[in-house]
Structure 1
Amino acid sequence: MERIRGGWVNVPEHLKCKTDLKEMGLKPTGEAKAEVWNGHIWVKLYNISETAPCKPATEKQLAAVEKARTAQLAARTCSRCEGIISRKERLLQGICDYCRESLFIEEISKNAFKLLRNWVDNKSKYLILDTEATGLDYDSEIVDIAVIDLDENVLFESLVKPVCPIPEEATAIHGITNEMVENAPSWPEVWVHIQKILSVDKTILTYNADYDFQMIRSNCERHNQSYTLLKNFCVMQTYAEYVGSYSRYHRDFTWISLMDAAYDQDIRMLGIGSHRAKADCIVCARLIHRVAKRGVEKELAKKCTVLSFKKDGVSAR
């Protein structure tokens, strides 16, 4: 069989592939005379003189084709978003990957809101803690620490004198200078008071818990102080779950700064200051209350809508 190289431009006019013949309403009656490379495979070519008209499909055949096409389309259509997935993907219980992920995020968000509501409803069981340090590394030292309750009552607040000087880049963030901590108590002195406040019957709420407890643990180890990790929750993680800040690429919830969260929830910062331990504790408390309050308002609005439908005699789904 002749092989025509150089693409379709070198194919003689009397040679056609099956696709071309079908479009012309013809079908081959003889063997292929040649083949051409289309960039992926060798395509067989037939002499147009050795063809016959295609028989028109009967109504029964057309109906069967349409039925099969409809079934194939239904098998690739998500029951939730009605999107059609590619053949390489698959549906699980009739739902596409994107919708399954969306349902997962919605469920996580509901659970996060319940957790935030629980903190407010049982606020006597919770305390908020925040620290400022000389850096972000494990060896960094705490220079500011505060503990408040959810009513913004300050239970403890103190600067802490580090062993090493505070770097300028750290001062640029929280505003704490070496002069400010010159006469501040050392970590062992501060830790004695903190331990009395963080009793075992309290749960600690921190915005970015991993960082704060890493700082506390490393400072205790540096000064040979006893350290027991108390029950705690990360407000940043919970807030990210509540607002659905999810990265489909990383398959995890993303980091949201406290300032960004406060901005999103319209929490005014005037008169509070920023990037100091007490100020961040207060912002965290207000964030928790704001989210819980708005969630309750949404629930009430939804109930009022349903009652309004019932009152007007309209069935609401």
Structure 2
Amino acid sequence: MSTDQRNEFFVAMLAGMSANPSCAPVGETMRTLWMLADMAVYHKERRESPQQMAIRWIKKNYVIVDTETTGLGHDAQIVEIAVIDLKGNVLVNTLVKPTIAIPAEATAVHGITDAMVAGAPSWSDVLPKVVEAIGDTWIAYNAAFDKRMIEQESGALLGGYSSVTLGSLCAMQLYAEYNGEWNTFRRCYQWKKLIDAATALNAWPEATGDDVPHRALFDCRLTLGVIHAIAGAAL
């Protein structure tokens, strides 16, 4: 965010209010002016509304990616990955065998155990299929996390697949802008958990035989529902 632009917006709004004697720029009013300045800077380079963006994603039929992992840190590994397109077609849905044990706290979230991944392919075996499915533009809910996981899991393997992590789009940011709750401290729209976004939009997918909450395919389908709900398009 440009500090100069933020200050310019603030000064312009303050001057406008100062010209009206009935609008004393004090207290809460000053905080509101700074918030509006932050929002003006945030939106300055944005040419699409969240709905327009969601519609464009659907027309392009980008794919949605979700990973389940051994944790959140920089030593975490992927234990499951799913990829679907924006028509709901499943392109990838596989467990992945990590080189480390899955901690109990991770299993408590996604339900994946060491026994479940014992016969699964390694990440090096899965990566070519993921690359083929993802293409050069893909979507994830909290894309920064999935992008980091793919990068740190792949290491040198990713050398020939640089486009995989360059074209990530974030559905969490899309929903945050659509929802419109401004975070004054972070100077951006408030991020929400995927399950909260799906609940707010009534965007739960139709039940299928392989739906398991907090698993990669389930979260891909939740993200699909959120995008379609924002676009106003029926699943």
Normalising by structure 1, what TM-score? 0.59
Unaligned runs of 5+ in 2: 1-17
Provide closer, same or farther for how the CA distance between residues 212 and 102 of structure 1 changes in structure 2, counting only shifts above 3 A: closer
Which one of the candidate residues 58, 73, 88 is aligned to 1:137?
73
Whether the aligned pair in 2 keeps the contact of 1:105 and 1:246 (CA below 8 Å) is no
TM-superposed CA distance for 1:136, in Å, is 0.4
Which one of the candidate residues 109, 119, 123 is aligned to 2:60?
123
Task: Report matched runs for 1:134-173 at 5 Å.
Answer: 134-173=70-109
Question: Are 1:188 and 2:124 an aligned pair?
Answer: yes
Provide closer, same or farther for how the CA distance between residues 140 and 132 of structure 1 changes in structure 2, counting only shifts above 3 A: same
Question: Are 1:111 and 2:57 an aligned pair?
Answer: no
TM-superposed CA distance for 1:292, in Å, is 0.8
Provide closer, same or farther for how the CA distance between residues 130 and 178 of structure 1 changes in structure 2, counting only shifts above 3 A: same
Which residue identity lines up with residue 123 of structure 1 in the other structure? K
CA shift digits 1:179-214 (9 cap, x unpaired): 1000000000000211222234xx201111110011
> In structure 2, how many angstroms separate the alpha carbons of the residues matched to 1:161 and 1:98?
47
Which one of the candidate residues 86, 107, 111 is aligned to 2:26?
86
Whether the aligned pair in 1 keeps the contact of 2:38 and 2:187 (CA below 8 Å) is no
CA shift digits 1:47-85 (9 cap, x unpaired): xxxxxxxxxxxxxxxxxxxxxxxxx892352xxxxxx43
> In structure 2, how many angstroms separate the alpha carbons of the residues matched to 1:204 and 1:241?
19
Task: Report matched runs for 1:275-314 at 5 Å.
Answer: 275-293=214-232
Normalising by structure 2, what TM-score? 0.78
Alignment correspondent of 1:205: 139
Alignment correspondent of 2:21: 75
> In structure 1, how many angstroms separate the alpha carbons of the residues matched to 2:118 and 2:201?
37
> In structure 2, how many angstroms separate the alpha carbons of the residues matched to 1:96 and 1:138?
39
Secondary structure at 2:99's aligned position in 1? coil
The structure in which a higher percent of residues are helix is 2
> In structure 2, how many angstroms separate the alpha carbons of the residues matched to 1:255 and 1:243?
9
Alignment correspondent of 2:6: none
Provide closer, same or farther for how the CA distance between residues 85 and 132 of structure 1 changes in structure 2, counting only shifts above 3 A: same
Unaligned runs of 5+ in 1: 1-71, 78-83, 297-317
CA shift digits 1:215-236 (9 cap, x unpaired): 1011111x74534123121110
Provide closer, same or farther for how the CA distance between residues 169 and 101 of structure 1 changes in structure 2, counting only shifts above 3 A: same
> In structure 2, how many angstroms separate the alpha carbons of the residues matched to 1:88 and 1:215?
42
CA shift digits 1:8-63 (9 cap, x unpaired): xxxxxxxxxxxxxxxxxxxxxxxxxxxxxxxxxxxxxxxxxxxxxxxxxxxxxxxx
Question: Are 1:218 and 2:175 an aligned pair?
Answer: no
TM-superposed CA distance for 1:252, in Å, is 2.2
Larger Rg: 1
Alignment correspondent of 1:234: 170
> In structure 1, how many angstroms separate the alpha carbons of the residues matched to 2:132 and 2:180?
36
Whether the aligned pair in 2 keeps the contact of 1:132 and 1:142 (CA below 8 Å) is yes
> In structure 2, how many angstroms separate the alpha carbons of the residues matched to 1:253 and 1:195?
31
Whether the aligned pair in 2 keeps the contact of 1:109 and 1:241 (CA below 8 Å) is no
Provide closer, same or farther for how the CA distance between residues 206 and 86 of structure 1 changes in structure 2, counting only shifts above 3 A: same
Whether the aligned pair in 2 keeps the contact of 1:109 and 1:243 (CA below 8 Å) is no
> In structure 1, how many angstroms separate the alpha carbons of the residues matched to 2:111 and 2:35?
44
Which residue identity lines up with residue 238 of structure 1 in the other structure? L
> In structure 2, how many angstroms separate the alpha carbons of the residues matched to 1:89 and 1:250?
19
Which residue identity lines up with residue 94 of structure 2 in the other structure? S
Q: Which structure has more RCO (C-alpha within 8 Å, separation ≥ 6)? A: 2
> In structure 2, how many angstroms separate the alpha carbons of the residues matched to 1:258 and 1:204?
17
Sequence identity, in percent? 35
Would you say how many aligned residue pairs link Structure 1 and Structure 2? 210
> In structure 2, how many angstroms separate the alpha carbons of the residues matched to 1:198 and 1:278?
15
